[in-house]
Chains A and B, each alone.
Chain A
Amino acid sequence: MPAPVIVATDLVKKYKDFAAVDGITFEVAPGESFGLLGPNGAGKSTTMRMIGAVSTRSSGSLSILGLDPNEHGPAIRSQLGVVPQQDNLDTELRVRDNLLVYGRYFGLPRAQVAARADELLEFAQLSDRAKAKVDDLSGGMKRRLTIARALINEPRVLLLDEPTTGLDPQARHILWDRLYRLREQGTTLVLTTHYMDEAEQLADRLIVVDKGRIMAEGSPASLIREHSSREVLEVRFGSERNATAAADLAGIGDRLEVLPDRILLYAHSGEEALAEVTRRGLEPITSLVRRSSLEDVFLKLTGRSLIE
């Protein structure tokens, strides 16, 4: 097995008394697409900043591409591509110049950067906007430019912090498609997200993070298999009747979660569970049978939903 590109052991980041990251351990293999899934404030971005060698750890050990970020920040950063949570494109420069100037920050030769910039504009589907001002781009375009910029130095690892937060569904799908291509080309991806569908789409393997700690680790499919049933039945009785109805539903399926607006019944077969609900004389206003998702895994592990 090839040497891992990232090895984190008991990684801790404290701000005064508050531990934003509280002892997490993981490895990322080359070519892997690795996800950190968790709600806002779980410590994902802080972890990403430590991996990106722009934040020093409080304790634990961290090796990125075989180097310690405390000692070799610039050397590590020269081999990383970083897509921060909020775009920080250079609004005083035009689209293509953003790529050229960024390449120069890495000390790359002008001609090489220029050729690479044109390829990346093509990849980001922005070739026709090369001379546009950054502020005139749509949110999705800015995001794609940020990703193109992060690739200018042909990084060995691409770090993506909440890559599609704030984008409309269409822009998200375009972005996922681009990231999927990178993954096929063998680029190592490390991404954080609080969208379970994004994690399912993009991550080979992920850790579920909450309050700075790892709750579970595995591939999306194995996490679901391990921590949830095959299917979920969602029933709604209206907000007043939810609690009373829940008592009558006891015993159906493996497990039951009462949320403010609906009740989730975890069962191997959602349809059979629904049949049992009707047999007991309960009449939900709406019902829905679906496959278990990472959202359910998170709910099971933390008792809370991902997006609050």
Chain B
Amino acid sequence: MTTTLDRPRSGGVKALYAGNARAVVGRGLLATRSTNWIIVLTGVFEPIFYLLAMGIGLGSYISGVTDARGDQIPYAAFIAPALLAVSAMNGAVYDSTWNVFFKMHFGKLYQGMLATSLGPLDVALGEISLALLRGAAYGTTFLLVMQALGLNLSWTALLALPAILLIAFGFASLGMGITSYLKTFQQMDWIQFVMLPMFLFSATFYPITVYPEPIQWVVQALPLWHGVELVRGLTTGALTWAMLVHLGYFLVMIALGLIFTTRRLRALFLD
């Protein structure tokens, strides 16, 4: 930046990014290894339990479920991709909200990081990458379970893995920015308050067509619906052009989330 503003302000990408997000990731892996890897593990099982209870158990009473092209599919094969998207979301949100909240307010971790040559974008990218790794680990495990239960109906299920990374990235980048506004544990509960209905109503357990049209619009505005539809298209093999819209939704969400989080970190720690 060569133009001078009337008020001095941090200039250019160089002030925000040192190209060293991997140091933040390295720190996260080391910390996870030494303290809380068991907690990380528990998150794998939640969607598997849902799949077994709802998909296999409840699903044996349900018929007439179709994929995006109108072909009949088992109920378990209908909800499994939705649960996959949810597990990616949960992993990413947990890491980018609770973990970030703790580091921000109690560990003062970011204050220490930003006193080094790291910039806020390094910290944001590093922390989000960690959330992604976690999302990827959850997703891969769940995909393997789906494969074992015969719920991947097409080879395109392989593409579900990059898809859930995209979903995790979207949620993590936005989640970290939102968390930066939250000051107390009570406020953190609001995240759960938003997440649970989104999980239940985003065409996770039944098609969106059961809702009246105005409600459909609301659901379609939420990110999880796009994630569910994207992954469902891939694991059932019923590909549609609408999936490009879902893809685009997440690309925009990632870009906005990164800008938002980086700005917040700069405002908080480099004021």
Contact = CB atoms under 8 A, between A and B. Distances in A.
B23 A105 contact: yes
A55 B30 contact: no
A93 B15 contact: no
A210 B111 CA distance: 26
Contacts of B212: none
A88 B109 contact: yes
Nearest to A153: B116
B34 A94 contact: yes
B232 to A, nearest CB: 37
A72 interface: yes
A92 B112 CA distance: 13
A110 B32 CA distance: 20
**In this complex, which of B23, B31, B107, B116 has the most chain A Cβ atoms within 10 angstroms of its Cβ?**
B116
Interface stretch (A26-34, A74-82, A277-285): A74-82
Contact of B15 (A72, A84, A104): A72
A189 to B, nearest CB: 16
A197 B59 CA distance: 76
Contacts of A57: 8
Contacts of A88: 107-109, 111-112
Contacts of B34: 92-94, 97
Interface residues on A, range: 20 to 34
A71 interface: yes
Contacts of A104: 20, 23, 26-27
Contacts of A74: 14-15, 18, 117-119
B8 A93 contact: no
Contacts of A257: none
Given A73-B270, A102-B112, A102-B116, A90 B23 contact: no
A23 to B, nearest CB: 15
Interface residues of B, number: 34
A105 B11 contact: no
A125 interface: no
B115 interface: yes
A54 interface: yes
A273 B31 CA distance: 64
Given A90-B109, A93-B27, A105 B35 contact: no
B126 to A, nearest CB: 10
B187 interface: no
A88 B115 CA distance: 11
A70 B271 contact: no
Given A88-B107, A107-B18, A54 B8 contact: no
B1 interface: yes
Given A77-B117, A78-B116, A86-B108, A70 B8 contact: yes
B155 interface: no
Contact of A92 (B12, B107, B269): B107
B265 to A, nearest CB: 11
B238 interface: no
A52 interface: yes
Interface in A99-128: 101-102, 104-107
Contact of A56 (B20, B35, B115, B271): B271
B240 interface: no
B154 interface: no
Nearest to B36: A92
A55 B117 contact: no
Nearest to B11: A71
Interface of B: 1, 8-12, 14-15, 18-20, 23-24, 26-27, 30-31, 34-35, 107-109, 111-119, 269-271
Q: When A and B form their complex, which 6 residue pairs have the shortest distance between CB atoms, in order from nearest?
A: A78-B117, A88-B108, A92-B31, A105-B116, A104-B23, A82-B115
